[in-house]
């Protein structure tokens, strides 16, 4: 059975930490979160993974091919260099929504996000057999966002992109796929099992609701790195008018 493996990364006892002994400066909190995300992205990426910033205090990584020992090594590296610790939990399932749910449940069983006792936990269960690894990622982008960027106030573009993200999240959730905003006019969706036909329906729905046009490269492979790269290549082909339509599927 082909499965996606997701890792929930949660900063331990972070809420209390941000206000102890008194509220820390927001700029310092933003710097810590941005650095921690960049650091984790690097450490997962060199092992074939991909981290989405999600809430920054809680991040989700596609971690197919990354073992428990490698997760522990990443945690140890973070713990010697940051004033906070991170707990991680792993879930694997055919559908991305189910994988993150299993990961979240495993971490919740190990203790609260606000517990001072729960530090640097590694919980949950990843894939046992590596031949089960499967990652499908849709990389979507809005057509001609630069025109709006050059003509409208920047906050108007920002607001539109947040609406696009929410509409995609809602539509994709019907197929147990996840959607993450990755900056600019880009969205990435771990979406194992989502067919081209269903993706077309989702894109049509969001396009009609928000008056925009979308295009999508879809990559399928054994690791997030591989799939994301194929997806971005697919998108590039559409941009260069090398594709017949607004969706290109690529499998490794």
Ligand X SMILES: Nc1nc2c(ncn2[C@@H]2O[C@H](COP(=O)(O)OP(=O)(O)OP(=O)(O)O)[C@@H](O)[C@H]2O)c(=O)[nH]1
Chain residues binding ligand X by CB under 6 A are 141-146, 182-186, 232, 239
Closest-approach residue to ligand X (CB): 184
Q: At what angle do helices 68-79 and 26-45 cross, to 10 degrees?
A: 150
The one among 12, 57, 133, 185 contacting Mg ion by CB under 5 A: 185
Which of Mg ion, ligand X, none sits in contact with 146, Cβ below 5 to 8 A by type?
ligand X
Query: Smaller CB distance to ligand X: residue 33 or 75?
Result: 33
Rounded to the nearest whole angstrom, what is the least distance from the CB of residue 96 to ligand X in the complex? 19
> Contact, 150 vs 242, CB < 8 A?
no
Rounded to the nearest whole angstrom, what is the least distance from the CB of residue 149 to Mg ion in the complex? 10
Which pair of structure tokens corresponds to residue 160?
């539109």
**Alpha helices, DSSP H, located in the chain:** 14-18, 26-45, 68-79, 96-110, 145-151, 154-173, 196-210, 224-239
Residues 6+ away with beta carbon under 8 Å from 88: 7, 8, 9, 10, 71, 74, 75, 107, 121, 122, 123
Which of Mg ion, ligand X, none sits in contact with 232, Cβ below 5 to 8 A by type?
ligand X
Rounded to the nearest whole angstrom, what is the least distance from the CB of residue 160 to ligand X in the complex? 12
- CA end-to-end distance (rounded Å), the chain: 18
- Residue labelled with tokens 């197929």: 175
Which of Mg ion, ligand X, none sits in contact with 243, Cβ below 5 to 8 A by type?
none
Rounded to the nearest whole angstrom, what is the least distance from the CB of residue 26 to Mg ion in the complex? 31
Scan residues 126-145 and list those touching Mg ion (CB under 5 A): 141-142, 145
| Strands 4-11 and 86-93, bridge-based pairing | antiparallel
3-state secondary structure of 181: strand
- Residue labelled with tokens 């539109």: 160
Rounded to the nearest whole angstrom, what is the least distance from the CB of residue 179 to Mg ion in the complex? 16
Query: Smaller CB distance to ligand X: residue 92 or 164?
Result: 164
Which of ligand X, Mg ion, none sits in contact with 183, Cβ below 5 to 8 A by type?
ligand X
CA 21, chain centre distance (Å):
33
Query: Smaller CB distance to ligand X: residue 29 or 148?
Result: 148
Query: Smaller CB distance to ligand X: residue 81 or 239?
Result: 239
Which pair of structure tokens corresponds to residue 189?
């969706």
Phi and psi at residue 87, in whole multiples of 5°?
A: -95, 150
Query: Smaller CB distance to Mg ion: residue 99 or 164?
Result: 164
Q: Where are the beta strands (DSSP E) in 63-121?
A: 86-93
Query: Smaller CB distance to ligand X: residue 14 or 52?
Result: 52
Where along the sequence are the contacts to Mg ion (CB under 5 A)?
141-142, 145, 185
């Amino acid at each position: 059975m082909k499965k996606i493996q997701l890792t929930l990364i949660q900063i331990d006892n972070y809420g209390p930490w941000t206000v102890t002994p008194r509220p820390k400066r927001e700029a310092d909190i933003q710097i810590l979160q941005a650095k921690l995300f960049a650091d984790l992205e690097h450490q997962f990426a060199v092992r074939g993974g991909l981290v989405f910033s999600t809430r920054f205090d809680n991040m989700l990584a596609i971690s197919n091919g990354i073992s428990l020992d490698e997760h522990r090594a990443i945690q140890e590296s973070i713990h010697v260099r940051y004033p906070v610790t991170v707990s991680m939990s792993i879930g694997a399932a055919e559908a991305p929504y189910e994988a993150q749910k299993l990961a979240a449940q495993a971490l919740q069983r190990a203790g609260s996000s606000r517990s001072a006792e729960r530090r640097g936990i590694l919980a949950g269960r990843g894939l046992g057999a590596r031949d089960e690894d499967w990652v499908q990622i849709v990389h979507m982008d809005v057509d001609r966002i630069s025109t709006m960027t050059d003509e409208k106030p920047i906050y108007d573009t920002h607001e539109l992109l947040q609406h696009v993200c929410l509409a995609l999240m809602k539509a994709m959730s019907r197929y147990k796929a996840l959607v993450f905003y990755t900056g600019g006019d880009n969205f990435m969706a771990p979406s194992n099992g989502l067919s081209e036909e269903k993706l077309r329906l989702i894109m049509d729905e969001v396009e009609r609701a928000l008056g925009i046009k979308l295009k999508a490269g879809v990559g399928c492979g054994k690791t997030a790195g591989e799939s994301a790269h194929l997806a971005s290549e697919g998108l590039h082909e559409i941009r260069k008018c090398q594709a017949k339509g607004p969706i290109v599927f690529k499998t490794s």
